[in-house]
Amino acid sequence: MATLRRLREVPRHLLVCEKSNFGHDKSRHRHLVETHYHNYRVSFLIPECGILSKELKNLVMETGPYYFVKNLPLHELITREFINTFVKKGSCYALTYHTNIDEDNTVALLPNGKLILSLDKDTYEETGLQGRPSQYSGRKIMKFIVSIDLMDLSLNLDSKKYERVSWSFKEKKPLKFDFLLAWHHTGAEESRMMSYFSSYGIQERQPRVALSTASELQCPVLRSGELGGAPGAACSAPELLDWLGAVFSNAQLCVRGGPGWGVASAAFFVGVYTLKMIGWEITEVFLSFSFVCVCVCYRNNEPNNFVSTYCCPQPSTVVAKAYLCTITGFIVPEKIRLLLEQLCRYFDEPKLAPWVTLSVQGFADSPVSWRENEHGFRKGGEHLYNFVIFNNQDYWLQMAVGANDDCPP
């Protein structure tokens, strides 16, 4: 009864699955990548691959840099110099670090020049700025969302509107945050942000890259035209997402029907990937997404010799080798788009692999998920998407958010 009671307390999650082709005029793949702004983890898996191509490995190693600035005054992001130097000349991203969206004030800068503030009630009232109640506040409004268009402000920096915002951030309610920053632009000004914020002790960082191979990996059988799966012939998109989570978490996978093994299965609901901050490191805790089959495997029919593990959905096939790559940091959508395009070109030459995957996870404490859609944490804070790229250029796109989010676009 206690287990059932805990299961009822698990918040609902939204998973949207769709299929298309990269060659279609109305394909949404580029737009969905470019409007998911604050990404902390990118992973891809290539079955029947033991060595990464030079082109793909170069892209993986060039996903940085990004920057960390401690105790940066918020008014520095609305100055004439910052707007003209970074916001107008490329895509500038910023996100508060070491802040919890459900407890603290958080800030995000989007590449379209929108500065989004998620403020508690006291801070909001002290700033004197105009905003709206958070849609996830409940009956008692404790959070407010303020959106400031820096591109609009820059049209007239002598206006009363700009003076009011500047006065609020510099004098009325000075706010300071630890920030992650990234700037994507054309040109050779890589060190521009380092020199601009040098007085604040800015640090340049590179994403952490983990490369590995898995031998004799049991993989689901997929058919590009069967998004919902086909009994006995192909697995569904939600089943694949569960399996991917287990693989990238290094979970022990149970091989059904293996010699000396028996299986007793049960179904239960668990959550999704959740970001946790530990010191300076960005780590992740995996939870799967829907009702999944979890098996208790026991060897030689000995009830005390067992381990709880996860079984690959059926039907499945065993691949000799699979290449896994995980990139962790503050990764801009432009770099993810290049990775996606390179993975599409993977099938320009004949390959044994029928498909590859690209998974992207957003920061749990970002105030937005896609575009300017408000994002909340609740019990997970998840917002993520996954591409399954087939060798005929068809693709599946899976988008997932938690309880405090609108439906993915």
Indicate the range of 196-210, 274-288, 291-305 predicted with least confidence: 274-288
Contact (CB, 8 A) for 361 and 382: yes
In terms of average pLDDT, the best of 1-5, 214-218, 280-284 is 214-218
Q: Is 84 helix (H, G, I), strand (E, B) or coil?
A: helix
In terms of average pLDDT, the best of 148-157, 179-188, 342-351 is 342-351
Would you say how long the chain is, in residues?
A: 409
Residues 358-390: tens digit of each pLDDT: 999 999 889 998 888 887 766 667 889 999 999
Confidence of residue 395 (pLDDT cuts 50, 70, 90): very high
Q: Amino acid letter at 321?
A: K
What's the half-sphere exposure (Cβ side, CA atoms, 13 Å) at 110?
23
pLDDT at position 7, please? 47
The rounded distance, in Å, linking the Cα atoms of 285 and 330 is 17
Q: Amino acid letter at 75?
A: H
Residues 39-72: tens digit of each pLDDT: 999 999 999 998 889 999 999 999 989 999 999 9
pLDDT at position 374, please? 81
Strands 91-97 and 106-109: antiparallel
State yes or no: pLDDT of 86 exceeds 80: yes
The rounded distance, in Å, linking the Cα atoms of 114 and 159 is 18
Residues 246-256: tens digit of each pLDDT: 898 877 776 55
State yes or no: pLDDT of 237 exceeds 50: yes
With a pLDDT cut of 70, the percent of the chain lying above it is: 81
- In angstroms, the Cα distances linking 205 to 28, 61, 186, 281, 364 are 31, 13, 20, 12, 20
State yes or no: pLDDT of 259 exceeds 70: no
Residues 305-316: tens digit of each pLDDT: 555 567 889 999
Closest CA to 309 of 359, 250, 365: 250
The rounded distance, in Å, linking the Cα atoms of 257 and 254 is 9
- In angstroms, the Cα distances linking 213 to 49, 138, 210, 216 are 8, 46, 10, 10
pLDDT at position 402, please? 80
**Region 264-286 average pLDDT:** 31
- In angstroms, the Cα distances linking 158 to 103, 166, 377 are 35, 11, 38
